[in-house]
Structure 1
Amino acid sequence: MEINDLTEKIIGLAIEVHRHLGPGILESAYKECLFYEIKKNGIHVECEKALPLIYKEIKLEQGYRIDLLIENKLVIELKTVEAFTDVHFAQILTYMKLGNYSTGLLINFNTKMLKQGIKRFRI
């Protein structure tokens, strides 16, 4: 599946989850529900994907964890916050850079309409 089609599909599934749960739930609940929807739709997804951090000659196996990694090419980082901050942007960009992924979606489920809480990143 092309990356644009994939991001569109994932956004649609996230909207479906938000439509059923609404705002105000724990991030972990949204993650599990979105994970379920993605798997149900036959899309390969990894939850809490470990992303090692390499520093000089040492490798930290559990450096970071990507919330959801879709088809080994799309990073999904989920939040339940009032508003995105630069720290959230830096976090997803770091995951993308360390994993050599070109596309990411930062999704904030704590919004009245989910499309207001989605930011796409390309590097």
Structure 2
Amino acid sequence: MIIENTGLNGMTSELAHLDESAERLGFVRWQWEYYRATYDLKLEDRAGKAEYFLRVNTRAVEGKLESPYAVLAIESIYIGRATFPHGMEYESPVPQPILNTATQRLQDLKKLLS
């Protein structure tokens, strides 16, 4: 599920600041290469016994990710349910408490980056 209207799409930040801000909120920069990075936040639904990942995609608009001064632009933001053993499923409905937590974390990230 793509999360729209977060106010984050198109925001830019230096890599070091984005890493620090995201880490403060529990995000981890998992996938990355020279020109793009993905920040993931694991959210657990104990009632439904499922794990969801809030994923923030970024792309370098200045420099490469080797440099803490590289400037990244935030692109799409989406959430999906983890599937065994290493997949993500983006079509199933997400429980409202998980969506509420995701929305709050995205608002917090926007504040830290502003």
TM-score, normalisation: structure 2: 0.28
TM norm structure 1: 0.27
More strand by share: 2
Q: Looking at both structures, which has the greater relative contact order when contacts are Cα pairs under 8 Å and sequence separation is at least 6? A: 2
Higher helix share: 1
